Chain A
């Protein structure tokens, strides 16, 4: 573990009954990088991200997040991370400003700082007109950008994004990634799951998960070279091929 490591996962296992969602994961994430966490639906990405953010306890093994154990100190982890989930979770019946104030208050920012950051944030997003609008009335793209901004409102060391751009149009996705870059440039580590392969190209390093295990981890360029592929998408398809041919599945169902 170098001084640069902010997340260090060791022999992490998570089981739900008989099902193993995370099967002995080992990897590290470095400070300030954009770490892409790829995998098909059900590969176990969300399970991992929930453990790393202290929402779920590992069955065995452990992960150190900014020096705190996911097994023993989940509440300490929560103080220094931001989190945004694929299921949009700001309060729909509060206005933009009320949501920002709530989370600012929860993370212990003082009233003056909340006000300052609220105004900065609204200005940066060109959100001025939306400040007093209810979240419920905003289009999805704006909601997602806002949720991301709120997740980094308290300047966390790491921000976890679980499929942040799901269902969002290409232009907004582009803008979203600009925000991610800007955040990373401030020294905040970004841990992001996605299944848009073009987004994976934007990451500093990516890991590809398949059936609960990490099957590849490197920079996008190295992976493409290693698998002799044009794009990350090609790499992904080569690695995360469905394990059973469709024909066989059909037969079994009969």
Chain B
């Protein structure tokens, strides 16, 4: 035990003696939170719309003004030429083109079915689908208004309609920041721990100091634990910092138990640190480590469910995520912070994280060689 204490003490002295690292450890998360949380959003507003109105009737104008009135659309162009509309799409001047045919107003007046034509830039499938859904919403309202105007009012009311009252649970305001913040928190804790711990061990190899440690009776698990503990504590300190920023800058709600969040984060960090140290036992240089670490971090983070729901991934990807610690902490952070989930709700994830943490740490200890 005392040996571990002396080793941990040494790590802390070295970390904070390096002025740059010592500051970056706390500066980087602050900047990351302030930039990423508001920047990374899927909210789509002000969809740039180009209108080809061949009708120019009061009916078409009323449709256009309804589109304009919604917060989702901004009419940036209006033309009669399909060619021009196409070139606008190409140049990203607009992302959606809506064509109103010339007999739009007349057909509506005569009660004939009317067809509109829309083209959407679907390079980003999510944006395209959402734009389409918004357009549909506006058209539905327009149809209803038409019906009310043309048939007599009571008759419309007599038609039974399904009216859904929806409440958005756990994030009533649909605030994207509330959804992203717990995820970003998970990622910044991952990045700090993963890179610093791994690089730290590889650096000892490069400088040669590890040889002097290897010729002492230090036990392998003591050495690995001493490399983990400082970065575990730094990771948790960064989590505190991140939560404070969440509260002060974004007023994020915190429904669950803080203790549970920190408990989960500690297990998560052990898993990530174990993995980082495992990789570093293979790497001879910091360059090698960075390359491999980058590869795994991208996979861990993009597959974690921070941007895309795990449920929509293919089955094999979900199987891979069974060993992805970031996927677990993403879920746990969101559940605990936004839903107020208790330990019973997330016990399966906690157990899985514990198993992963044990396996990765054991691999790191096993793979670290004191005798070549």
Contacts and interface: CB of A to CB of B under 8 A. Distances in A.
A105 interface: yes
A87 interface: yes
A105 B217 contact: no
Given A103-B216, A106-B7, A93 B14 contact: yes
Interface string A94-124: 1000100111111110000000000000000
Nearest to B215: A83
A234 interface: no
A85 B217 contact: no
Nearest to B15: A93
Contacts of A91: 10, 14, 209
A158 to B, nearest CB: 12
Interface residues of B, number: 26
Contacts of B217: 75, 78-79, 106-108
B2 A89 contact: no
Nearest to B216: A106
A105 B371 contact: no
Given A87-B208, A93-B17, A78 B215 contact: yes
A101 B6 contact: yes
Given A101-B6, A102-B6, A107-B217, A90 B212 contact: yes
Contacts of A104: 6
Contacts of B214: 55
Contact of B372 (A57, A81, A94): A57
A75 B209 CA distance: 18
Nearest to A114: B6
Given A93-B17, A101-B6, A78 B216 contact: yes
B299 interface: no
A55 B215 CA distance: 6
Contacts of B9: 102
A91 B211 CA distance: 11
A107 B217 CA distance: 7
Residue of A87, A98, A105, A108 with most chain B CB atoms under a 10 A cut-off: A105
Contact of A94 (B2, B5, B14, B207): B14
Contacts of B372: 50, 55-57
A57 B370 CA distance: 11
A104 B7 CA distance: 11
B3 interface: yes
A74 B218 CA distance: 12
B18 interface: yes
A78 B214 CA distance: 9
A53 interface: yes
A55 B13 contact: no
Interface in B94-146: none
A151 B13 CA distance: 22
B18 A106 contact: no
Residue of B3, B14, B371 with most chain A CB atoms under a 10 A cut-off: B371
Contact of A53 (B2, B213, B215): B215
A54 B372 CA distance: 9
A85 B212 contact: yes
A92 interface: yes
Interface in B1-31: 2-3, 5-7, 9-10, 13-14, 17-18
A37 to B, nearest CB: 17
A85 B207 CA distance: 13
Nearest to A81: B215
Nearest to B372: A56
A102 B219 CA distance: 15
28 contacts: A50-B372, A55-B372, A56-B372, A75-B219, A78-B370, A85-B208, A85-B211, A85-B212, A87-B211, A89-B211, A89-B212, A90-B209, A90-B212, A91-B14, A93-B14, A93-B17, A93-B18, A94-B10, A94-B13, A94-B14, A98-B13, A101-B6, A102-B6, A105-B2, A106-B3, A106-B6, A106-B7, A107-B217
Given A54-B370, A105-B5, 12 more contacts: A50-B372, A54-B215, A55-B211, A57-B371, A78-B217, A81-B215, A89-B211, A91-B14, A94-B10, A101-B6, A102-B9, A106-B218
Interface of A: 50, 53-57, 74-75, 78-79, 81, 83, 85, 87-94, 98, 101-108
Interface of B: 2-3, 5-7, 9-10, 13-14, 17-18, 207-209, 211-219, 370-372
